[in-house]
Structure 1
Amino acid sequence: MKGVYPRKNKHGEVTSYQVKWRLGGGASAPWQTERFDDEASAEIFKTAVDEAGQLWPPGWVKGKGYIDPTAGLEEDERYRFDNYARASVANRTRVEERYRAASLKELETYIFPTFAHCDVRSTEHFSKATVSAWVNKMKQTMVRRGRKHKLMSPKTLTGCACQQGRQQFEVVADGGAGKVLFASSSKPTAETVSKRYPGSVVREKGMDAAKTAQ
């Protein structure tokens, strides 16, 4: 039967947990298995398999977990928000698989429907106006709380509001005298994007051209 099974050593001690299912769900389909060190991670993976129709979850490699989903994509495709976000989650270190699964689920449920095909380098796609419109939309979203459906709590959106106060770095054309080409809270990301635009510079958001040139 499909499910999560504890694996024991010769002393009867549980050493790992195995998720087992038939590929595609067919009664005569080949068995598939994946091993986890803890039961919680195994249960989360089992749920992902169920949601994928008894197939391996997209982006998952047996024995390794989620890998960079943007491998092999054209450069512009890498900066499409859904690809960029999936890569960010997949490449995070020191996090449990349950965290990755929960993060991806929230992205797919609340953020991708609006921003999936936006370019992360675009200050127009991710302007204060577009993000504020999304926040207002989320405030009217019904979410499950126990057995009830309620409006999304303002506390849930606090993180979004906090982003507005974070330090931002801009890629600016013409040595800082031109237009803003890209903005990010990550300076290394901004520096990487800047390399694609000869003559551009990276500066803190709000810093004028004169200060950038100093």
Structure 2
Amino acid sequence: MANHTLFLSLLALSCSLAIAYEPSPLQDFCVADPSSSAFVNGRACMDPKLVQADHFSFSGLHLPRNTSNKLGSVVSPVTVAQLPGLNTLGIALARIDYAPWGVVPPHVHPRGTEILTVLEGSLEVGFVTSNPENRLITKFLQMGDAFVFPVGLVHYQRNVGHGNAVSISALSSQNPGVITVANAVFGSNAPIPADTLVKAFQVDKNLVDYLQLTF
């Protein structure tokens, strides 16, 4: 009886894990229909008879981006918003351009694991494990190296070379989402009460006020 109960418990756990990520499609494809008003977990499907090859194609990832901003980096996503044919397929892509010493600041993808490959230059990358360890796992990457950021963990990238750098990332969701830590904490709408942030970060209120104005 105990073994039977254990088996059922493991089966229930396996089923819950199986549905924790995007489900497998039940048809050949489900091209996103941006004109639909249906509210579903993802995007509503376009009539298959109206689907064209362009719905599965995206161009321009070979073109360098302008990185003249405060961070010195630009992310060019290819999610279901840019490529409707990704709908229900559970994958996405992004090109990232870095100026010398440019950074992609600490952020989280709440719905997708990311695997990054360096195409040009040298990068420092890392992610932080969950509480209570909060351990930083970091590595320096060269052209051709790959690195995985597990879903939901805070991670970052930094160009550590004197020239431009480029990477490409694959993500395990058609819409992995992105939460930039600084923007979310100090730039939320409406603002998180300053007293809460003072206690959370153990800093002076003047610094919190400055950061909230900055973001």
Q: Is the shorter-chain TM-score for this pair beyond 0.5, marking a shared fold? A: no
Q: From the CA coordinates, give the structure whose radius of gyration is larger.
A: 1
Q: Aligning the two structures, in what range does the TM-score lie when normalised by the shorter sequence?
A: under 0.3
Relative to its length, the structure with more helix (as a share) is: 1
Name which structure has the greater RCO, CA cutoff 8 Å, separation 6+: 2
Q: As a proportion of its length, which structure holds more strand? A: 2
TM superposition score normalised by structure 1: 0.23
